[in-house]
């Protein structure tokens, strides 16, 4: 293995990916496994998790645990199972998230708290639980999935924007505290991606074209477009990268 290959290799590493049943989470799990990591897939839909696992390929280096990301006991169970199964935890990808669309003046309290709990509070609880272990072992990589709306306000997604803005700041705050222990905390801010979360936008032909016209790359992103960034931030190639929010957006923020 060359020096460059070794920088990006995840051989001997164990990872957890939340929300691994589809979309970005599925792409992240496949990318990490392709780079050599053992991967624990977690999400609410066990059959979809099994589908992700089958796409990775039948081997002893993947494990599925279904559960609600908002449940702190699920985080502890998943982390404990990862360590028990693979002997360690080196990488956590906090991907699980939801989005609820409504004008702010009509936004329900239920939707507000559900989005904040899933997209922000759960990121903290999983990071805190994993961080304790990583600090003890003196190494670890936490990759949070932020958003373009970590930087912009968006339309009719007030809770999602607030949560993703929080994810960006949480990423920086944890990096400030944990970098000295050898734990890297960074985030990826995807652009407009062809996932279930954007199905409503893509179904609106006019809005879809408005968005497309503003993307310099000339296309919506696909979950696989994040694979390289996920592997990079999970590997030793990013050992001196701390508290960074990496936009993978086809040039949207630069426009």
Sorting pLDDT into bands at 50, 70 and 90, what band is 197?
Answer: confident
Full strand arrangement of the beta sheet holding 62-66: 62-66, 38-43, 14-18, 91-94, 140-145, 183-190, 245-248
Q: Is residue 235 part of a domain?
A: yes
Distance separating alpha carbons of residues 8 and 228, to the nearest angstrom: 10
Q: What is the pLDDT of residue 242?
A: 98
Q: Is residue 214 part of a domain?
A: no
Structure tokens at 58: 């039948």
Q: Is residue 204 part of a domain?
A: no
Q: Is residue 185 part of a domain?
A: yes
Distance separating alpha carbons of residues 251 and 140, to the nearest angstrom: 30
Q: Is residue 177 part of a domain?
A: yes
Supply the CATH number for residue 37's domain. Answer: 3.40.50.720
Q: Is residue 211 part of a domain?
A: no
Distance separating alpha carbons of residues 15 and 29, to the nearest angstrom: 8
pLDDT digits (tens, 9 = 90+) for 228-255: 999 999 999 999 999 999 999 999 999 9
Q: Is residue 153 part of a domain?
A: yes
Instruction: Residue 59: name the closest of 81, 79, 39 by CA.
Output: 39
pLDDT digits (tens, 9 = 90+) for 62-101: 999 999 999 999 999 999 999 999 999 999 999 999 999 9
Report yes or no on whether pTM surpasses 0.85.
Answer: yes
* Enzyme catalytic residues: 160
Q: Is 47 exposed, middle or buried (0-12, 13-18, 19+ CB in 10 A)?
A: exposed
- Our count of domains for the chain comes to 1
Q: What is the pLDDT of residue 60?
A: 80
The yes-or-no verdict on residue 39 having pLDDT over 80 is yes
Helix (H) or strand (E) holding 26: helix 23-34
Q: Compute the average pLDDT of residues 15-28.
A: 98
Q: What is the pLDDT of residue 178?
A: 98
Q: Compute the average pLDDT of residues 147-168.
A: 97
Q: Looking at the chain, which runs of residues are DSSP E strands?
A: 14-18, 38-43, 62-66, 91-94, 140-145, 183-190, 245-248
Q: What is the pLDDT of residue 76?
A: 97
Name residues whose C-beta falls within 8 Å of residue 71's C-beta, 6 or more positions apart in sequence: none
Q: Is residue 203 part of a domain?
A: no
Range of the domain at 104: 3-194+222-248
The yes-or-no verdict on residue 58 having pLDDT over 90 is no
pLDDT digits (tens, 9 = 90+) for 92-134: 999 999 999 999 999 999 999 999 999 999 999 999 999 999 9
The 3-state secondary structure of 79-121 reads HHHHHHHHCCCCEEEECCCCCCCECHHHCCHHHHHHHHHHHHH
Name residues whose C-beta falls within 8 Å of residue 244's C-beta, 6 or more positions apart in sequence: 186, 187
């Amino acid at each position: 293995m060359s020096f460059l290959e070794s920088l990006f290799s995840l051989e001997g590493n164990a990872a957890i990916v939340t929300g691994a049943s589809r979309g970005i989470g599925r792409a992240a799990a496949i990318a990490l496994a392709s780079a050599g990591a053992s991967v624990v897939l977690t999400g609410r839909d066990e059959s979809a998790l099994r589908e992700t696992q089958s796409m990775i390929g039948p081997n002893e280096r993947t494990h599925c645990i279904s559960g609600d990301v908002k449940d702190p006991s699920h985080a502890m169970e998943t982390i404990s199972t990862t360590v028990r199964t693979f002997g360690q935890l080196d990488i956590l990808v906090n991907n699980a998230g939801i989005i609820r669309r409504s004008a702010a003046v009509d936004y329900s309290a239920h939707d507000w708290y559900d989005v904040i709990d899933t997209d922000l509070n759960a990121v903290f609880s999983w990071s805190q639980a994993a961080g304790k272990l990583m600090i003890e072992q003196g190494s670890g990589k936490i990759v949070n999935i932020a958003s373009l709306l970590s930087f912009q306000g968006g339309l009719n997604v007030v809770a999602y924007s607030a949560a993703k803005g929080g994810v960006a700041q949480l990423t920086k705050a944890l990096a400030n505290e944990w970098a000295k222990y050898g734990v890297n905390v960074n985030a990826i801010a995807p652009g407009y991606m062809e996932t279930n979360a954007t199905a409503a936008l893509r179904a609106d032909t006019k809005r879809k074209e408005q968005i497309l016209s503003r993307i310099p790359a000339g296309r919506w992103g696909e979950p696989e477009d994040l694979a390289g960034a996920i592997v990079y931030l999970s590997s030793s190639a990013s050992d001196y990268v701390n508290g960074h929010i990496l936009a993978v957006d086809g040039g949207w923020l630069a426009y």
